[in-house]
Amino acid sequence: MRNHTVVTKFILLGIPGTQGLQRTLLYLFSVLYLCNLLGNVLIFATIICSPRLHTPMYFFLGNLSIFDLGFSSTTAPKMLCYLSGRSRAISFQGCVAQLFFYHFLGCTECFLYTVMACDRFVAICFPLRYSVIMNHRVCSALAVGTWMSGCVHASLLTSLTFQLPYCGSNQVDYYFCDIPAVLSLACADTSLAQTVGFTNVGLLSLICFSLILVSYVRIGISISKIRSTEGKQRAFSTCSAHLAAILCAYGPVIIIYLQPDPSPLLGAIVQILNNLVTPTLNPLIYSLRNKDVKSALSSMFPKRCCSLENQ
């Protein structure tokens, strides 16, 4: 190691196989990122300002908006920076922070989706006891638990990745500092970090996804026992958006981390869907189709909504 220079910064090589498309990708990703910021900030502000939305379901939805804002902001600003022709360099400390917050927020979202599935399970299967079971203290404890679990998960992965020496090439063959791309540059045995990263990310996602499936199987059984058609439609409408968001969030994680040798371009596309597209779609598929949220928005912007209705 004495014959090598210790790495103090990394060079992000960008999205594989997209040479010559930088300007097109810059415009596309800028629009998506802006829509993500506006949509999630609007949903979060609506939940905060509307007393009728101060319920467990919207409490967790507000948490999801915060995570979506942070998750996309972990990778998008730097990606847009070098797509615009600026420096591709990122400091060693910046790479550490990017990897930590990416896995911290990503893991927290996985846990949050699981908690939201449990919330829907209690609401549909035990409607008369819902307010007692999902009280303020329980919701707060679940939210704090998701944050703390995500922090422990990310701290473990980050420490295992960056306790290794980096003294050779500093060119990260990816558009952000993720574990597989960074570990390939280490000057030591990376088998432990690779094994723990694969187990923690891939297996943890599968466990959470399995718990969600179990919850929705029970929900489906309960919905099938509802006699009225209106009651079935109402129960299904409260779950359909959550199911769509789950498929968008968990699908990319499972595809990337459970493939033995994924294509670099396919991995980048799937991860961009997870990092940027899904957080942008969440306000649409999860919130803006909801009647309570629409009503709260109309009360926040009455003049604007009236003018739209007149048109």
Convert the pLDDT of each residue in 286-304 to its tens digit: 665 667 777 777 776 654 4
Contact at 8 Å (CB) between 64 and 241? no
Cα–Cα dist 290/238, whole Å: 8
Alpha helices of 176-285 — where are they, by DSSP H?
A: 179-183, 191-198, 204-224, 229-257, 264-272, 278-282
Is the per-residue pLDDT at 308 higher than 60?
A: no
Does residue 2 sit within a domain? no
**Phi and psi at residue 15, to the nearest 5°:** -75, 125
- Summarised one tens digit per residue, pLDDT across range 113-169 is 899 989 988 988 888 899 899 999 999 999 999 989 999 999 999 998 999 888 878
Does residue 258 sit within a domain? yes
- Summarised one tens digit per residue, pLDDT across range 87-106 is 899 999 999 999 999 999 98
Of 236, 232, 241, the closest CA to residue 287 belongs to 241
Does residue 52 sit within a domain? yes
Does residue 4 sit within a domain? no
What pLDDT was estimated at residue 2?
46
Does residue 125 sit within a domain? yes
Of 225, 4, 247, 223, the closest CA to residue 113 belongs to 247
> Considering its fold, how many domains does the chain have in total?
1
Is the per-residue pLDDT at 261 higher than 80?
A: no
Does residue 1 sit within a domain? no
Cα–Cα dist 127/163, whole Å: 49
Does residue 77 sit within a domain? yes
Q: Which domain holds residue 306?
A: 9-310
- Beta bridge pairs of residue 171: 11
CATH number at residue 13: 1.20.1070.10
Q: Which pTM value belongs to this model?
A: 0.86
- Summarised one tens digit per residue, pLDDT across range 50-64 is 888 888 888 998 898
- The model's confidence at residue 1, banded by pLDDT at 50, 70 and 90, is very low
Does residue 156 sit within a domain? yes
